[in-house]
Amino acid sequence: MKNKIALTVIAIAALSGSAMAQMHQNNQRHNMDGNCDYMSKEIQLTDEQRTQMKALHESMRTENQAAREARRTEMNKFYDNPTFNADEAKALAQKHRDDRAVRKMKYRHAMNQILTSEQRAQHSEMMQNHQNNRHMKGQKGEHRMDNHGHKNYHNN
C-alpha cells in the first residue's frame, strides 16, 4: 500500500513537472509573439518589415540555442578537469560574456537595418522606457499605471 502511494506521488510530481515545463515553454512563445506584435503596432512595422523581423528573430533564436549547447559542452569539459584553474575559468567566463554581447550587437544591428530611422528612434525610446520600468519593478511605494496599462511601483 505504501509503495503504491509513493509511486502515485512520484508519478504526479513527474507529470506536473512536465506539464509546468510545457506551460513555461508555451508562455515564452506566447510572450515572444506578443512582444513582436506589440512592437509591430507601437512602431508601425509594415508587413514586409514584420516578416523580416520574424525571420531575424528565428535565426537569432537558433543561433542562441547553438551557442548555449556549445557553451554547455565547453563548460562540461572544464568541469571534467581534475584540477581547477582560476585563470582558465576567468577566460572562459569572459569569452562567454563577449560572445553573448557580440550576438546581441549583431541582432540589434540587423534589426536596425530593417527599421527606418524614425522607427529606430521609437524603438530606442521603447527600450529605454522598458529599462526604466524594469528598475522600478518590485520596489515598494506608490503604484501607478504606465501608458500601456501595466502596473509599476516606484518610490517618490
pLDDT in tens, 58-109: 999 999 999 999 999 999 999 999 999 999 999 999 999 999 999 999 999 9
6 and 23, same domain (yes or no) = yes
**Per-residue cell: 129:** 522606457
Q: Which amino acid is at 24?
A: H
27 and 83, same domain (yes or no) = no
54 and 100, same domain (yes or no) = yes
Q: Which amino acid is at 90?
A: K
129 and 91, same domain (yes or no) = no
How many other CB atoms are there within 10 angstroms of residue 86's CB atom? Answer: 7
38 and 54, same domain (yes or no) = no
Is the pLDDT at 56 greater than 80, yes or no?
yes
Angle between helix axes 47-80 and 2-42 (nearest 10 degrees) is: 140
Domain, as residue range, for 86: 46-115
96 and 143, same domain (yes or no) = no
106 and 67, same domain (yes or no) = yes
Instruction: State the pLDDT at residue 32.
Output: 45
Instruction: State the pLDDT at residue 106.
Output: 96
pTM, 2 dp: 0.58
Is the pLDDT at 137 greater than 70, yes or no?
no
Q: What share of the chain is helix, strand, coil (3-state, %, to 5)?
A: 80, 5, 15
57 and 92, same domain (yes or no) = yes
Report how far residue 48's alpha carbon sits from residue 78's, in angstroms, rounded to the nearest whole number. 45
* Number of structural domains in the chain: 3
